[in-house]
A and B are shown apart, each in its own frame.
Chain A
Amino acid sequence: MGTQAINLMNANALRAWSSAIGEPHWLLERRIQALKLEGTLELPKVEKTKLEKWDIYETGDYKAENPWSSLEDAPEVVRGLVASPVKGGLIVQFNSDVVYTELSESLAAQGVILTDLHTAAKEHEALVQRYLYQAVKPGEHRLSAAHSAFWSGGVFLYVPDGVEVETPIQAIFLNDTSGVRFAPHVLIVAGSNSKIVYVDHCVSSRDDVKALHNGVVEVFAGAGSKVQVASVHQLAAATTDFTERRAVVLADGAVEWIIGEMNNGYTASDTKTLLQGNGSVSDTKVIAIGTGIQKSSYTTQARHFGRSSVSQMITRAVMLDEASAIINGITKIEKGATHCDGQQTERVLMLSPKARGDANPILLIDEDDVTAGHAASVGQVNAEQIYYLMSRGISRSEAEYLVIFGFLAPVISEIPLEGVRGRLQNLVESKLGRS
C-alpha cells in the first residue's frame, strides 16, 4: 500500500546532528536505538483509520532558527496568544527549534524548570534521563520510534515536590515552512504534592504549510500532585498531525487534559492516562470540529491500575462538510484495581449529509468491584432548543450557532489562559463558518 518510509537522515547524519547541538551521549544512543526500531516496526493500529494512506512518512528536515531576543518581532499569531508581560513562563518553538524561553524569577527561585528539551538533557541530565520515553516508549510503533529518533525543540517543565504554581506555563509551537521537521517533545514532571498548569498551542502560519507534526507529550504526576494540561491544535489543511499525549499518575495525584482539536488537516491523536497510584484521578475533555475533507481519529484512554482510582473522559465533536472522525474511548480497569470508577461520554453533532462521525465507547473490565459506564450519542442539533431560541426572536442560523457553541463551551471555558481561550473561541467560530 503506502510508500516505504525513507529516512532522510541515516544513523550517521543523526550522530552528526546530535553532536553538533551538543547532546549527551546517552540521548544520542536512545535516538539511535529508536531509529533502528523505526525500520522494523509497523504503523500504529488506529481503529477504522487507514493511517498507511496518510502523509506520515516524511519526518522533515531539521531547520535551525535564530533565537528571538524578545517577542516584539514575533509573528502576529504568537503575539496574539501571549499575555504581555508574561506572568508565569513562556516557551516558543518555531519550526524545529525553540527560539524563546522566559520563566518568572519567583518560579525559578522555587526550583521550577522551564527549558527546551535539548538544554534540559544537558543541564538536568539525571531528571530527563529518568523520565524521557518512559510514558510513550520508542518501541510502540513506527511513528513513536520516528519521533523518539528525530524530535527537536520541545519543552521540559519540572515542578519540585510541594511547589504549587498557580500561574499557567505557556508553550507555543509554530510552523511556517513546508517540509521542515516539526516534532516537539513535551516532558512534564510534577513532584509530590505539587501543582502546575500547562497550556500549549500548536499552530501553522498558513493553511498551505505542508508538514508532519509528530508530537509527544509525556506527563509524570507525582503522588498528591495536580497537573492540568490544556492544548489547542490549529494546524494547516496540508499538515498531518499525529500526537500522543500520555500521563502517568501516582497515588492521589490528578491529571486533567483539556484538548481542542481544531486542525484543518488529517489528525490522529491519542490522549491516555495511566492511573498507577491508589486514589489517582484523571479527567479528559476533548472538543473537535471536523471541516473540509479532513479525516481524523480522536482516542481517549484511561487505564486503571491503582485502587479507588477515578477517570472521566468526555469527547464532543461537531462534523461538517465531508469531514470524517472516528472517536474512540477506552476505559480499561486492570485486575486488582478495586473500587475504581471509570466513566466516558462521546457526543457527536452531525451537521452535514456527507460527514461521518463514529463513536466507539469501549470498556475493558478485569475487576468486579468497580463502577464503569459510558454513554455515546450521535445526532443533530436539538430541534426543541432551536425552537425555544427562535421563539425568543433569534434567527435559525444564530440559534444553531448558539446551540453548537453551547455544546463545545464546557471545554472552551476550562482553558486556563485568556489568550488561548479567546483564540479557541475564534477558531470555533471560524471553523463553523462565522468569520
Chain B
Amino acid sequence: MTTLKIEELRSKVEGKEILKGLTLEIHGGEIHAIMGPNGTGKSTLASALMGHPKYEVTDGKVTLDNEDLLEMEVDERARAGLFLAMQYPSEIAGVTNSDFLRSAINARREEGDEISLIRFIREMESKMKGLEMNPEFAHRYLNEGFSGGEKKRNEILQMMLLEPKFVILDEVDSGLDIDALRIVANGVNEMRSPDRGFLIITHYQRLLNYITPDFVHVMMQGRIVKSGGPELAHRLEAEGYDWVKEELGITDETVGEEV
C-alpha cells in the first residue's frame, strides 16, 4: 500500500525557517486535508515535498513507499509517483499543452514503450471533456494566457493523465467559481482509489464539501497543531481559527511568511 511518511520535517525559505518539525503519515486510499490561516507554512510544505529549489530542507525525513524522497531530484520524485497541483503553475510560451503532456507521460515510460499518438489524443480528449475544457486548450501554449480557473483545470488534467500514486493539491480551490470547483472536485473524486493518497491544502472548507476528507489537520507556526475528522473542518468553517489558537495558547499563528 502507498504510504507517504513525513517525519519532523524542517524547511527554510531564503534563510527563514518556515516548517518547524512537521510529522504526518498518509496511506493509499486516504484523503488528508491541511487547513490553516495564511502564512502558517501550508504551501511551503507542498513545495518542499516536491523539491522546489528555493525551499531548503534542513532536517527531517520524507519517504514515499520507503524510498527517500528528499534524496531525489524533482523529476525523480515525479516519476516515483508524486504529483503537485500548483497554486501558481508556470507559463511556458511556445510549448503546446499537448506536446508537454505527451512528454510528461512518456517520461515515466520506458524507451520503446511510448504512448501511441492516437491513444494519447483519445485519453487527453476524454479527460478534457470530463473537466469541461475547451479542446482548443490542447493546442494552446502551456498555461500561457490561461485564466486562474483554466490553469487549475489544466493541473487536474495533468494529474488525471499522469496517474500519480500520491497527489498534493495546493490551494487548488483558490480563484475558482462554484461550477469550476465542482468540476475540479469531480476530477479528484474520479481519481480516488485505494492505491492513491491525497493531501489537500486549503484555506477554506468549501472544497471539502465536494471532496470529503478522511482526516483534517490544522497547521500553525509551521507544524500540525490539531488533527481530527471531517467535523473539524466544519467547526473551522463555522467558528474560524481563534478557538484553536485559544485552546493551544497561540497568539501569532504565522511563521513570518509574507502574506
Do A and B touch each other in the complex, judged by CB within 8 A? no
